Amino acid sequence: MWCCRQGAYLASLYKAKKETLARLAGYLNNRIGNRHFTRTEEIDGIMKEKRWVVFNGEEDPTSLPAEWICWLNGQRKRAPTPE
Protein backbone atom coordinates (compact mmCIF):
# COMPACT_ATOMS: atom_id res chain seq x y z
CA MET A 1 0.00 0.00 0.00
CA TRP A 2 2.80 2.38 0.87
CA CYS A 3 4.42 1.87 -2.57
CA CYS A 4 1.22 2.80 -4.39
CA ARG A 5 0.90 6.06 -2.46
CA GLN A 6 4.53 6.89 -3.03
CA GLY A 7 4.17 6.14 -6.75
CA ALA A 8 1.08 8.37 -7.01
CA TYR A 9 2.88 11.13 -5.13
CA LEU A 10 5.91 10.91 -7.41
CA ALA A 11 3.68 10.90 -10.49
CA SER A 12 1.88 14.06 -9.32
CA LEU A 13 5.23 15.72 -8.56
CA TYR A 14 6.49 14.84 -12.05
CA LYS A 15 3.33 16.21 -13.66
CA ALA A 16 3.57 19.47 -11.69
CA LYS A 17 7.24 19.88 -12.60
CA LYS A 18 6.50 19.19 -16.27
CA GLU A 19 3.65 21.74 -16.33
CA THR A 20 5.84 24.35 -14.62
CA LEU A 21 8.61 23.86 -17.16
CA ALA A 22 6.12 24.09 -20.03
CA ARG A 23 4.74 27.38 -18.63
CA LEU A 24 8.26 28.76 -18.20
CA ALA A 25 9.21 27.79 -21.76
CA GLY A 26 6.05 29.45 -23.10
CA TYR A 27 6.77 32.59 -21.10
CA LEU A 28 10.32 32.80 -22.38
CA ASN A 29 9.27 32.18 -25.99
CA ASN A 30 6.77 35.02 -25.76
CA ARG A 31 9.36 37.36 -24.23
CA ILE A 32 12.18 36.64 -26.66
CA GLY A 33 12.11 38.81 -29.75
CA ASN A 34 13.04 37.88 -33.27
CA ARG A 35 15.94 35.46 -33.60
CA HIS A 36 18.72 36.14 -36.07
CA PHE A 37 21.00 33.48 -37.53
CA THR A 38 24.08 33.26 -39.70
CA ARG A 39 25.72 30.45 -41.66
CA THR A 40 28.85 30.39 -43.81
CA GLU A 41 28.68 28.39 -47.02
CA GLU A 42 30.73 28.03 -50.17
CA ILE A 43 29.14 29.35 -53.37
CA ASP A 44 31.13 29.09 -56.62
CA GLY A 45 34.34 28.55 -54.67
CA ILE A 46 33.81 31.66 -52.54
CA MET A 47 32.89 31.52 -48.83
CA LYS A 48 29.80 33.63 -48.24
CA GLU A 49 27.86 34.37 -45.09
CA LYS A 50 24.10 33.83 -45.19
CA ARG A 51 21.98 35.71 -42.64
CA TRP A 52 18.27 35.37 -41.85
CA VAL A 53 15.66 36.17 -39.25
CA VAL A 54 12.98 34.01 -37.60
CA PHE A 55 10.16 36.24 -36.43
CA ASN A 56 8.55 35.89 -33.02
CA GLY A 57 4.85 35.84 -33.80
CA GLU A 58 3.54 37.40 -36.97
CA GLU A 59 6.08 37.82 -39.77
CA ASP A 60 6.31 41.57 -40.32
CA PRO A 61 9.52 42.68 -42.06
CA THR A 62 8.58 46.33 -41.51
CA SER A 63 8.99 45.79 -37.75
CA LEU A 64 12.76 45.25 -38.07
CA PRO A 65 14.95 48.19 -37.01
CA ALA A 66 17.20 49.69 -39.70
CA GLU A 67 20.33 48.38 -37.95
CA TRP A 68 19.12 44.79 -38.29
CA ILE A 69 18.09 45.27 -41.91
CA CYS A 70 21.60 46.57 -42.70
CA TRP A 71 23.12 43.53 -40.96
CA LEU A 72 20.85 41.11 -42.82
CA ASN A 73 21.76 42.72 -46.15
CA GLY A 74 25.48 42.54 -45.41
CA GLN A 75 25.98 46.31 -45.02
CA ARG A 76 27.20 45.77 -41.42
CA LYS A 77 29.82 43.24 -40.39
CA ARG A 78 28.60 42.84 -36.80
CA ALA A 79 25.09 42.31 -35.54
CA PRO A 80 23.65 45.23 -33.55
CA THR A 81 23.84 45.07 -29.76
CA PRO A 82 21.17 46.19 -27.26
CA GLU A 83 23.24 49.28 -26.45
pLDDT tens track for 3-44: 556 666 666 666 666 666 666 555 555 556 788 888 888 888
57, pLDDT greater than 70: yes
* Amino acid identity, position 41: E
Q: How far is CA 72 from CA 15, 36, 50, 65, in A?
A: 42, 9, 8, 11
1, pLDDT greater than 80: no
The model carries a pTM of: 0.52
What span, in angstroms and rounded, lies between the C-alpha atoms of 50 and 33? 20
